[in-house]
Structure 1
């Protein structure tokens, strides 16, 4: 099996895993993996992540132009701007996962960091999570809004929409997305109760220990 064939199979396995665990539903969400030539493979438009066909994944060049496979999702530009701003990124995951979307709809969030550092693993996998102001899905204004954060944050939360997360591998992007969703769930469970998040000193210590990107 070629490297690209193996990547196609891996994207489909990750999509099925996310779908089966209720982290995506219907035809929502998309996954991409950057290839050695600078282009990337991604899930097509109107495709369920639970039923992906490796041979039908969209193939895009390094400029984000569709060059093979089924038509890509209208949210392909979210992946393009993440790759453009983050040279170490090898994969991007975008979901409409329930608890993360619920948090994105709340009033009074800190737009510079909309989830507190409740656990060490959230800090290690996600870090600071800015809130991108609402833009219509598929609108190019959303690309510009995400691009403004992508250089300094590998995970952002789209208001009334969901998270988009880049990782140094497909596994790392998936793990970070899962950690974000679980932290959003914990945050909602604890809402209106006194909480004890990690201190600034504890967060800084984790960043130094793990050389967080």
Structure 2
């Protein structure tokens, strides 16, 4: 049984529309729960012929599918509203980790506050204090402050795209990537909640010990 060009084109159109709707759904969910405010944050997804990304200066809580910007494989804007200036940062992930299908960036309060008060280590902004943090997020490094849109950030992310699930931008918030938009958002949420636990703890909890981390690796295949 052969597949016609029209069938392939139709499948691509359906996939793109589903991704547009998922971006709007996840954006609205993050906005309602104050993971992002105003016109901060952005979400992108990989297509066979390019990428979708939220528009520049757009509120993630008020997007429509038609507003989502589409760019082709050369980075040229071809439809929707003007794409976010963070496209170069997102492409640093996509171009260097072919398994990743989505990137989510927010200015989440707890994680930005963590960079202001001092992260645990530059190589791991939080210690491994809960099993789900280890399982869903893993080690997240800090990217020292650069202005929004600075190409230096993309260069640093390029080197990290296959070794971690995301990064924390000093004073700007997390950038998390995954195999779907929802999975990237869920990982970001887990990271944000863990930061909140850490910041609210007067006596900082000890990290999970080596035995506990080894057990998580043996049972779930996740490594810190």
Q: What is the aligned partner in structure 1 of residue 184 from structure 2?
A: 173
1:61 aligns with 2:77: no
Show structure 1 runs of 4+ deviating over 3 A: none
Q: Given the alignment, which residue of 206, 211, 215 partners 1:201?
A: 211
TM-score of the superposition, structure 2-length normalised?
0.88
The aligned runs of 1:1-213 (5 Å cut-off) are 2-37=14-49, 39-107=50-118, 109-190=120-201, 192-212=202-222
Structure 1 or 2, whichever has the larger Rg, is 2
1:105 partner SS: helix
Q: Which moved more, 1:90-99 or 1:66-75?
A: 66-75
Between the aligned partners of 1:95 and 1:209, the Cα distance in structure 2 is 31
Preserved CA contact (<8 Å) 1:59 1:67: yes
- Unaligned ranges ≥5, structure 2: 1-12
**How big is the alpha-carbon RMSD for the aligned residues of Structure 1 and Structure 2?**
1.7
Preserved CA contact (<8 Å) 1:133 1:145: no
Deviation, structure 1 residue 195: 1.3
Between the aligned partners of 2:222 and 2:73, the Cα distance in structure 1 is 26
Between the aligned partners of 1:194 and 1:50, the Cα distance in structure 2 is 34
Preserved CA contact (<8 Å) 2:119 2:126: no
Q: Which moved more, 1:170-179 or 1:137-146?
A: 137-146
TM-score of the superposition, structure 1-length normalised?
0.93
Between the aligned partners of 2:55 and 2:144, the Cα distance in structure 1 is 25
Deviation, structure 1 residue 194: 4.2
1:112 partner SS: coil
Deviation, structure 1 residue 108: 5.8
Between the aligned partners of 1:103 and 1:75, the Cα distance in structure 2 is 22
Query: Between Structure 1 and Structure 2, how many residues are aligned?
Result: 211
